[in-house]
């Protein structure tokens, strides 16, 4: 006899039993312990047929192929550049993926990306969870110009970006700021008016705090539209 003990969109906590029996199957952030399905992170239940997964509300970034991330250059050499994206893992931009220019082995790499530079890069290949490759060749991938950086929970990034980028576009339009969001939770904001940059930051913090609620898009719109 299988029992589902939770509902769609219910918020569950680590160690919480979400189903009994063998009929339900564990997906992301759910594990099976004998005949119980157990939540491993704080998050929202999402049901898909017999699969039960949890959309986390908190937790570290787990890199996947194709992710756009923001990181800081920490080393360079004949291999290319090493980038820190905030995890115990080494991300590398191989020499061939650094630029559409043809890079000789003895080229001055710092002309492209120097120590301490921040870059927007794309994950091309994740190895065993510890090493992964990045590329700088692609639309929007670049060294970042001066701007402010903020960190958000990696789990909140999808909500901040929104369906097809709708949420982040709304923020950009209302504040007239350039915004880049890395899947690893680093956000870069640059605008002409400091007050507008702050509004973008506050809008993003609002999304972070209320990411699990409905009607959020309207509330964010209301926040962005109010006159200071």
Partner 1 sequence: MNSLVKDHTLALLAKGTREDSRKTDEYRDISIEYGISPKSAEGSARVKIGDTEVVAGVKVEMGRPFPDKPDQGSIMVNCELLPMSNPKFESGPPSIGSIELSRVTDRVLRESGVLDFKKLCIEKGEKVWNLLIDIYPINADGNLFDAAYLCALAALKDMKFPKVVDEKIQYGTPSKQGANLVKDRLPLSCTVWKIGDHLVIDPTYTEEQCAEGRLTVGILPNKALCALQKGQEKALTSDEIDQMVDLAIKKSLELRKVFEK
Partner 2 sequence: MSYTKRTDGRKFDELRPMEAKVGVVKNAKGSAMFKIGKTIAIAAVYGPRDLYPAHLQDPTRAIIRCNYNMMAFSGSGDRVRPGPSRRSKEISMITEKSLTPMVDLKAFPGGVVDVFVELVQTDAGTRCAGITAAALALADAGIPMLDMVSAVAVGRIGDKVVLDVDKEEEDYPDGMADIPLAIANRTGKITLLQADGEFTKEDLKKGIELGKKGCAKILEVQLKALKEKYEGAKK
145 binds partner 1 (CB under 8 A): yes
The partner in contact with residue 26, picked from partner 1, partner 2, none with C-beta cut-offs of 5 to 8 angstroms by kind, is none
CA distances from 128 to 63, 116, 133 (A): 11, 26, 12
Binding mask 59-98 for partner 1 (x = CB under 8 A): -------------x--------------------------
- Give 4's strand partners: 19
**3-state secondary structure (DSSP) of residue 205:** helix
Nearer to partner 2, 14 or 21 (CB): 14
**Please, what is the minimum distance in Å from the beta carbon of residue 116 to partner 1?**
5
Residue from 128, 145, 222, 226 in contact with partner 2 (CB under 8 A): 128
Q: Do 52 and 19 meet the contact criterion of CB atoms below 8 Å apart?
A: yes
1 binds partner 1 (CB under 8 A): no
Q: Name, in order, each residue with C-beta under 8 angstroms of 227's C-beta and a sequence gap of 6 or more.
A: none
Say how many C-beta atoms besides its own lie within 10 A of residue 154's C-beta: 22
Query: Scanning residues 187 to 206, which ones bind partner 1 (CB under 8 A)?
Result: 190, 194-195, 198
CA distances from 33 to 12, 16, 150 (A): 17, 11, 38
Residue from 94, 138, 147, 153 in contact with partner 2 (CB under 8 A): 153
148 binds partner 1 (CB under 8 A): yes
- d(CA 176, CA 182) in angstroms, rounded, equals 19
17 binds partner 2 (CB under 8 A): yes
Which is nearest to 19 in space by CA: 42, 44, 41, 45? 45
- d(CA 22, CA 2) in angstroms, rounded, equals 6
- d(CA 81, CA 154) in angstroms, rounded, equals 24
142 binds partner 1 (CB under 8 A): no
155 binds partner 2 (CB under 8 A): yes
The partner in contact with residue 124, picked from partner 1, partner 2, none with C-beta cut-offs of 5 to 8 angstroms by kind, is none
146 binds partner 1 (CB under 8 A): yes
Binding site for partner 2 (CB under 8 A): 11, 13-17, 29, 31, 33, 36, 38, 40-42, 56-60, 62, 86-89, 128-130, 153, 155, 209-210, 212-215
């Amino acid at each position: 006899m299988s029992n589902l003990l939770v509902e769609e969109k219910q918020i569950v906590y680590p160690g919480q039993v979400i189903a009994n029996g063998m009929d339900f199957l564990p997906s992301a952030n759910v594990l099976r312990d004998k005949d119980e399905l157990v939540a491993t992170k704080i998050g929202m239940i999402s049901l898909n047929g017999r699969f039960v997964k949890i959309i986390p509300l908190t937790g570290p970034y787990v890199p996947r192929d194709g992710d756009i991330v923001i990181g800081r250059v920490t080393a360079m050499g004949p291999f290319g550049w090493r980038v820190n994206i905030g995890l115990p893992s080494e991300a590398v931009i191989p020499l061939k993926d650094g630029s559409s220019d043809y890079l000789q082995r003895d080229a001055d790499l710092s002309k492209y990306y120097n120590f301490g530079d921040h870059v927007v890069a794309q994950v091309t290949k994740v190895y065993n969870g510890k090493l992964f490759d990045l590329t700088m060749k692609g639309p929007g991938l670049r060294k970042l110009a001066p701007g402010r950086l903020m960190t958000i929970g990696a789990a909140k990034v999808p909500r901040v970006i929104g369906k097809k980028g709708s949420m982040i576009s709304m923020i950009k339009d209302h504040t007239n700021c350039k915004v880049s969001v890395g899947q690893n939770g680093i956000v870069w904001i640059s605008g002409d008016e400091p007050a507008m940059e702050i509004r973008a930051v506050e809008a993003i913090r609002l999304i972070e705090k209320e990411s699990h609620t409905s009607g959020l898009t309207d509330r964010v719109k209301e926040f962005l539209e109010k006159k200071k």
